[in-house]
Amino acid sequence: MAEHDSISKVITILFLLFLLESSSGQLDPNYYYSSCPQISDIVKTTVESAIANDARLGASLLRLFFHDCFVNGCDGSILLDDTPTFTGEKTAKPNNNSVRGFEVVDQIKSAVEKACPGVVSCADILAIASRDSVVILKGPTWDVKLGRRDSKTASLQNANNDIPPPTSSLSNLTSKYAAKGLSAKDMVALSGAHTIGQARCTNFRDHIYNDTNIEASFARSSLQPICPKLTGSGDNILAPLDTHTPTTFDNYYFKNLVSKRGLLHSDQELFNGGSTDSQVKSYSSSSTAFFADFVSAMIKMGDISPLTGSNGEIRKNCRKIN
Ligand code: HEM
């Protein structure tokens, strides 16, 4: 009898632990396994055709996910449009006239709403689209944890404060990531995303005219001719963040840093005689090491404060609260 009692106690405890686990809001790669099995194919084919038309869109989608996750967690807040009564994050300094790829997200969302209405969040669409972009551009793959819900709010102020600017020092970068639960190691690995995509002259002008830790002929012959010195002139002219292979996800970003060919001041901070030099060096000689750390840092970034359970909502249109 006593034995029976203790067995049923153990079963009850296991059951309670199970309930606790399933209500604790853990994300799960199989979250849409039965509710929307089409999600993977829809995101993949849409991102593939977007990148086939414009290779830069892969970079733009990856950046959207970063700018989403760093502002109150990965909750789709960056996707919300401003209205006369609502201020979103799109006009924040790091986003304004800079973030792109919203039409691709809209396209994915409308296909997903047809296949499985009201089920898949915009925040999860960004997470999958980022992974697919990296894979299509020849980077590593990973299982994306899912089950995030979408915010009903956004924060212009947090977007301005929490996303690091390109003028950041190494210690500023480290503390902005620490504030999100990410280590300096994660920060360096995630920065490898700058192996794809473009930046505007306004964001690298100071670095190419005023910094001394940039290879002189790279600054003078490749960049200064396209980015005028005068503030306000040619601000939107673009240059690739990875001068070598701007549409391939590889470790050239780190090779560039080692040869002082970082485009942004903040990029070169990662290899400027400080504590992160050895990590940059190691990634510059091993794309395997970079890929492994990039994947684990992306998964960690994707875990930042998700809305789960009955928090938030599943938006019907990623640009608007329901
Ligand atoms: C370490 C701190 C970071 C800083 C200071 C930073 C800053 C910037 C800046 C200034 C640009 C160019 C924007 C423009 O000129 O319009 C840019 C582009 C980009 N960033 Fe970052 N970034 C950082 C980290 C990250 C992370 C963690 C990711 C993704 C995991 C990322 C992905 C990208 C991509 C892919 C682009 C190119 C986007 C495109 O071509 O549309 N960045 N970043």
Question: What domains does the chain contain, in order, with CATH numbers?
Answer: 39-163 (1.10.520.10), 182-301 (1.10.420.10)
Residue 124 among known ligand-binding residues: no
Residue 13 pLDDT > 70: no
Q: Does the Cβ of 72 fall within 6 Å of ligand 1? A: no
134-164 pLDDT per residue, tens: 999 999 999 999 999 999 999 999 999 999 9
Q: Does the Cβ of 168 fall within 6 Å of ligand 1? A: yes
In angstroms, rounded to a whole number, what is the distance separating the alpha carbons of residues 317 and 81?
10
Q: What is the pLDDT of residue 15?
A: 42
Q: Catalytic residue numbers?
A: 67
Reported pTM: 0.94
Q: Does the Cβ of 131 fall within 6 Å of ligand 1? A: no
Most confident of 7-21, 23-37, 197-211: 197-211
Q: Does the Cβ of 191 fall within 6 Å of ligand 1? A: yes
99-134 pLDDT per residue, tens: 999 999 999 999 999 999 999 999 999 999 999 999
Question: What residue owns the CA closest to ligand 1's atom 12?
Answer: 199
In the block, residue with structure tokens 């690091």: 164
Give me the mean pLDDT over the 65-69 stretch.
99
Contacts of residue 311, defined as CB under 8 A and 6 or more positions apart, other chains included, come to: 149
Question: What residue owns the CA closest to ligand 1's atom 13?
Answer: 199
193-210 pLDDT per residue, tens: 999 999 999 999 999 999
Give me the mean pLDDT over the 187-198 stretch.
99
Phi (first) and psi of residue 199, to 5 degrees: -130, 155
- The type of residue at 97 is N
Q: How far is the CA of 41 from the centre of ligand 1 (A)?
A: 27
Q: How many CB atoms lie within 10 A of CB 19?
A: 10
Phi (first) and psi of residue 239, to 5 degrees: -135, 150
Q: What is the pLDDT of residue 26?
A: 87
Q: How many CB atoms lie within 10 A of CB 70?
A: 24
Closest ligand 1 atom to residue 266 Cα is 5
Residue 54 among known ligand-binding residues: no
In angstroms, rounded to a whole number, what is the distance separating the alpha carbons of residues 33 and 147?
11
Q: What is the pLDDT of residue 3?
A: 52
DSSP string, 110-140: HHHHHHSTTTS-HHHHHHHHHHHHHHHTT--
Q: Does the Cβ of 126 fall within 6 Å of ligand 1? A: no
Report CA torsion sign: 172, 175, 179, 180. positive
Residue 194 among known ligand-binding residues: yes
Q: What is the pLDDT of residue 101?
A: 98
